Chain A
Amino acid sequence: MAATDQTIKQVNTLGSSDYKYGFSTEVDEIRPPKGLNEEIIKFISAQKDEPEWMLEWRLNAFKVFNKLPKPQWAKLNIPEIDYQDCYYYSIPKSLKDKPKSLDEIDPEILKTYEKLGIPLKEQKMLSGIAVDAVFDSVSVATTYKKQLSDLGIIFCSISEAVKTHPELVKKYLGSVIPVSDHSFAALNSAVFTDGSFIYIPEGVRCPVELSTYFRINAMNTGQFERTLIIADKDSYVSYLEGCTAPMRDENQLHAANVELVALDNAEIKYSTVQNWYPGDKEGKGGIYNFVTKRGACRGKNSKISWTQVETGSAITWKYPSCILQGDNSKGEFYSVAITNNMQQADTGTKMIHIGKNTSSKIISKGISAGKANNTYRGLVNILSKAKNARNFTQCDSLLIGNQCGAHTVPYIESSNSDSMVEHEATTSKINEDQLFYCQQRGLNSEDAVGLIVNGFCKEVLQHLPMEFAVEAQKLVAISLEGSVG
């Protein structure tokens, strides 16, 4: 499993607190000049052999982007992003002419994934999990395709889906996150490069975890992920994404749009372990992770559950949300966000209750160490037709040291008198007596912090796919290395 093995490796090399995925791969890249303009968009579209309608969609999004104001960053300290000083497309030359089999892929790229713990070759494939591997702007390979297609499940890169399943893409792309939603959504719609596409047909329970592994390799290159997951009536899918990037001194942008659609009685479980390069101790370098993730519970009794473990990135800005349209639909958000050193995270969720008897649950655990800042920002909005809607929110913050910050910003809007909204929040400092107790039992101070923090996050981590939870615990501990003592 992608991030699992990645973290196992990370743990095996414990002892040095450096980011373990900081290596870069030497490959020849195809890369148009820096800058954001119509030419680049046409170039990207042409590189991907996209149909005309897709190009038009992109160009329209670019027009919208130019008209939209930049988002107001509340708690984040974000340097002005110069959109013209960034590459928007970069693919290894060897991947240009669509390798037909893995034998045609540059061995350097295959090696990269092996180093990350994600073997793509058939005989070494991870069991119980199908992987789509995205390298900079392009999907390298998708495993288990045949087995999945026998069930009618479509799991491929979005670029491929545009060509092979245009009717589904046309119907759902941008249907959850409108192009005009905010400037990053528009930017992504204009220049998105790759990501995964999943369609689970009516009545099918996807038998394996589906997973995408995102890797940013090239310098100065933004990664514009676009993922679309559709769970048709009575279906179920569990999806997992993992991310890493080389250590580089300059900041890099990962701006993703992820859309989920769940129809009647369908369930989507979406888990993320985000471990982008966070920058060094002084805050130099690192990924800017600006992500729009939104799920629509369109059908009755549908359910979307987001679980995220956010440990990486210099700046994280993300609010996986649920639009609870169908009657009796359910939205869940389980989040662990860890910031250490100079990292900043502003994350949370939006639960929009539209249908009757809709319910949502939010469990957020924010951990801040070093000089980092961590904000939970959430909105629970209960519209007038959402009779009998329910929400439960719990936000807990844990501070390690005296120089970090935690902030909780919950917005609640209810236009319905028979709905019920509960909110609990706590902020505490890591307990010295607990640390002493663990150390008296032989744990060193870092292991003690790791243990206590993992206990603090348990409610969230237990929602990750099983084998994965164990590895996520190790990642939690590693992210806090050097935070005490």
Chain B
Amino acid sequence: MLEIKNLHVSIEEKKIIKGLDLSINKGEVHALMGPNGSGKSTLSYVLSGKDKYEINDGTIDYNGKNLLELDVDERANEGLFLAFQYPMEIPGVQTSFFLKTAINSKRKYLGQSEMDALEFAKLMKSKAEELNISTEMLKRDLNVNYSGGEKKKQEILQMSMLSPKMAILDETDSGLDIDALRIVSEGVNKLRNSDNSFLVITHYQRLLNYIKPDFVHIIADGKIVKSGDYSLALELEEKGYEEISQTA
């Protein structure tokens, strides 16, 4: 699915990712943990193609394609999804309209016809219900005046409607209350299948109780310093980054 080799990235001359390797296969869930400023969000932006990042070295293969050559929207329509750490507000654009536009962009890219209005309404309703998002919410402008947690839920709604092949969740759990955390996790688990993959960025082992990862990676200063299975998250919780990084 995704194969990152020796990735070096800088922004405005500042080196942020310094030789990162990561390989994610179909059907796997990987968790990425690491201290503030270690380059987690940067990695998610580079994967989704945000400009201003300079790729100094390395390759990224995505389903046999050179990911770095694809435009942002091409990557998205090829099934790469980023749930943002800080979702954007878009004033004047109704949330439901945004969802419809996103779905139809993808369908257009895949050479399919637009989704029928009724079919769309049904899909949105059922997915929103699963995530406990009210229909009133969907009539409001996208993310405008949404609470922090509501924004995160909105990201997951978009994800479940677009059913991506490779989803990156950047600190989706931060800001969610206990119930919302459970609901969102259930949403993610529902989506999980043998064909898609997830990269879950988080600071808290608690999320991984709900979304059981196949692998856990620890990133520090732009490199993956340690990888393991779920037990690594527990160990991290106990020892903290400092000690774990030293034992790496």
Contact = CB atoms under 8 A, between A and B. Distances in A.
B77 A434 contact: no
A434 B73 contact: no
Nearest to A438: B90
Interface residues of A, number: 23
B37 interface: no
Contact of A452 (B73, B82, B93): B93
Contacts of A433: 88
B52 to A, nearest CB: 9
B93 to A, nearest CB: 4
Interface stretch (B4-12, B101-109, B184-192, B234-242): B101-109
B76 A437 contact: no
Contacts of B77: 442
Contact of B76 (A431, A440, A458): A440
A442 B98 contact: no
B144 to A, nearest CB: 9
A444 B84 contact: no
Given A439-B73, A454-B92, A444 B87 contact: no
B183 interface: no
A24 B242 CA distance: 74
Interface string A443-459: 11101100110111111
Contacts of A443: 73, 101-102, 105
A455 B91 contact: yes
Interface residues of B, number: 29
Given A442-B162, A443-B105, A444-B105, A437 B91 contact: no
A441 interface: yes
A437 B154 CA distance: 13
A441 B109 CA distance: 12
B93 A442 contact: no
A57 interface: no
Contacts of B51: 436
Contacts of B88: 431, 433-434, 437
A442 B109 contact: yes
A443 B106 CA distance: 8
A440 B92 contact: no
A454 B81 CA distance: 24
B72 interface: yes
Given A443-B105, A451-B101, A456 B72 contact: no
A447 B90 contact: no
B92 A457 contact: yes
Given A436-B50, A455-B141, A441 B90 contact: no
A395 to B, nearest CB: 16
A447 B141 contact: no
Interface in B117-168: 141, 158, 162
A431 B88 CA distance: 10
A439 B91 contact: no
A451 B99 CA distance: 12
A158 B77 CA distance: 54
Nearest to A445: B73
User: Which one of A434, A442, A456 has the highest number of Cβ atoms from chain B below 10 Å of its Cβ?
Assistant: A442
Contacts of A440: 48-49, 72-73, 75-76, 81-82, 84
Contacts of A456: 91-92
Nearest to A448: B73
Nearest to B143: A437
Interface in A408-464: 431, 433-434, 436-445, 447-448, 451-452, 454-459
Contacts of A459: 92
A431 B86 CA distance: 14
Contacts of B141: 455
Contacts of A434: 88-90
Contacts of B89: 434
12 contacts: A433-B88, A436-B51, A437-B88, A439-B72, A440-B73, A440-B84, A441-B158, A443-B73, A452-B93, A455-B90, A455-B93, A458-B92
Given A438-B90, A441-B76, A443-B102, 16 more contacts: A437-B88, A437-B90, A439-B76, A440-B76, A442-B105, A442-B109, A443-B105, A445-B73, A447-B101, A451-B90, A452-B93, A455-B93, A456-B92, A458-B91, A458-B93, A459-B92
User: 8 nearest interchain CB pairs?
Assistant: A455-B92, A458-B92, A442-B105, A455-B93, A439-B72, A441-B102, A437-B88, A442-B76
